[in-house]
Amino acid sequence: MVQGTASSVGKSLLVTALCSLFHHRGLRVAPFKAQNMALNSAVTPEGREIGRAQAVQAEAAGLEPAVEMNPILLKPEGNLRSQVVMLGKPIATMTFTEYRGLKPELERVVSSSLDKLRRAYDLVIIEGAGSPAEINIDFDVVNMFVARLSGAPVILAADIDRGGVFAQIVGTMELLAAEDRARVAAFLINKFRGDQALLTPGLEFLQTRFGRPVLGVVPYLAGLNIADEDSLGLEDRRAQAPKHGADVTIAVVRLPHISNYDDFLPLEHEPDVALRFAESAAELDGADLVVLPGTKSTVADLDWLKQTGMAAAIARRASEGRRVLGVCGGCQMLGRSIEDPAGVESAVARAPGLGLLPITTRFAPTKVTARVLARVATPSFLTGDLGGETLLDGYEIHMGSVLPGGAFAAPFSIISRNGAAVELADGAIGAAGTIVGTMLHGLFENRPLRAAFLNALCAGRATVRRPGAPASASRADEYRRLAELVGTHLNLDALGRIAGFEGIFA
């Protein structure tokens, strides 16, 4: 089990690396995180919803994701409430007080899910959440509760990039109960930039004080083409140097409740694309494309757009014939109105949209979570010259139905949903063709579409991308790169012993 001294110390990526390392040594490996709080999510082949991080970890282990890998997903909605997704299906929206009342049921679900994985795989690599030493909270179904339940040895990871790494580790160990402290088998220092020799006195101190080894010091690795667990990953984008001289500039609106922003990760990693997450109307200026992404709180974020001047800037852009793309909640906001008579998402029964697409959204209690296959139905800048014969993978996660309201052209036709043949129109194209909305996530993972889309944005410029041959690395390449980096900086012999497979890295 990998636990951390705090949130965002890199637990998810470390587990991803370990899944890949052990998988390539011939073990059947599965990831597990009992409870995940995140707005980046994924859909299993059965149409169930889990945290994006566990889907990534499963892929690194050569697996399709399963609900048992993340049996509880919390999706914050604002006002101290979260949607509770259990075994891939939403059960309610709750406050923390209401949620903690489910503890017996949560423990049962966590235990049964973990048992199922342990019976099916040689090794389960467990991820904790936040810190195990939150002494003000007597509620735990994800950290030491799981370590006790499974008997798993714990690797305690800390983030040196933010400073105070030795205080993080010592403080966490001191605050743990004695029986839980005994479960910590080793320490790991993550995100290091510099000369490791400078850490020697501190590493020796930890060994002397606690009698545990430091398993390794992993360097900071920027620019991975691997999806982040949650919006904390957007903070790291601010420290990255902007790309100058890029052929295409894309501004993604950073909504307060932004979700599944990993949709745009493949674009970030195109060398000739400068993609930024914009928090003000001024940051939309000069972009070749403005994107309204997914959101967990559509009406609240629509109001934020209006209050901040973003809505006016987008409307002005549309009137000038400049391109705007809406994905999922962003598509809904570009429509004429959002109706929620049953109060599924908020207390607002009807909210006027931006009026840039001829659609209306109506929320319903049943959540749509599906993997889909789609084809191009109507050409647009989103699909460029891509023909309707190309099959596109994607997925849906939304509460509302999008209904046409007048002249209507859909960019895509969904032909399969969770393996069942269907014929459904998706999204809408504005009258001038410069406004496009889709409810499909994951479209830019399709290399031919990504190439055609970027070629459309680059029309009249020198850059041309051949379909199927983009410049950005594949996820498989990135998993290997991550595993090699982490493996190079860990004591693999000690790691194998801790995991119960001594000599596997010999």
Main-chain phi, psi angles of 207, to 5 degrees: -60, -45
Which CB contacts under 8 angstroms, 24+ apart, belong to 58-65? 58/19, 58/30, 58/31, 59/475, 59/479, 60/16, 60/17, 60/19, 60/20, 60/23, 60/479, 60/482, 60/483, 61/19, 61/20, 61/22, 61/23, 61/29, 61/30, 61/31, 62/23, 63/30
Spatial separation of the C-alpha atoms in residues 404 and 495, rounded to whole Å:
56
Out of 328, 398, 458, 489, the active site residue is 328
Look at strands 412-417 and 359-376 and give their pairing: antiparallel
Query: Which DSSP symbol is given to 444?
Result: G
Joined tokens for residue 110: 């966590």
Among residues 402, 404, 384, the alpha carbon closest in space to that of 392 is found at 384
H-type alpha helices, 121-210: 144-150, 165-175, 178-181, 200-210
For the chain, first and last CA: distance in Å?
22
Spatial separation of the C-alpha atoms in residues 65 and 36, rounded to whole Å:
15
Question: Residue 328 catalytic?
Answer: yes
Out of 23, 257, 398, 441, the active site residue is 441
CA distances from 130 to 9, 11, 35, 118, 337 (A): 9, 9, 11, 24, 38
> For residues 309, 266, 416 and 113, what is the CA-based torsion angle, rounded to 10 degrees?
-100
Question: Residue 441 catalytic?
Answer: yes
Q: Classify 78 as helix, strand or coil.
A: strand
Give the Cα-Cα-Cα angle 373, 376, 378 (nearest 5 degrees).
145
Q: Is 309 left (phi over 0), alpha (psi -120 to 50) or beta?
A: left
Q: How big, in percent rounded to 5, are the helix, strand and coil portions of the chain?
A: 35, 30, 40
Spatial separation of the C-alpha atoms in residues 427 and 418, rounded to whole Å:
19
Main-chain phi, psi angles of 388, to 5 degrees: -70, -5
Catalytic residues: 328, 441
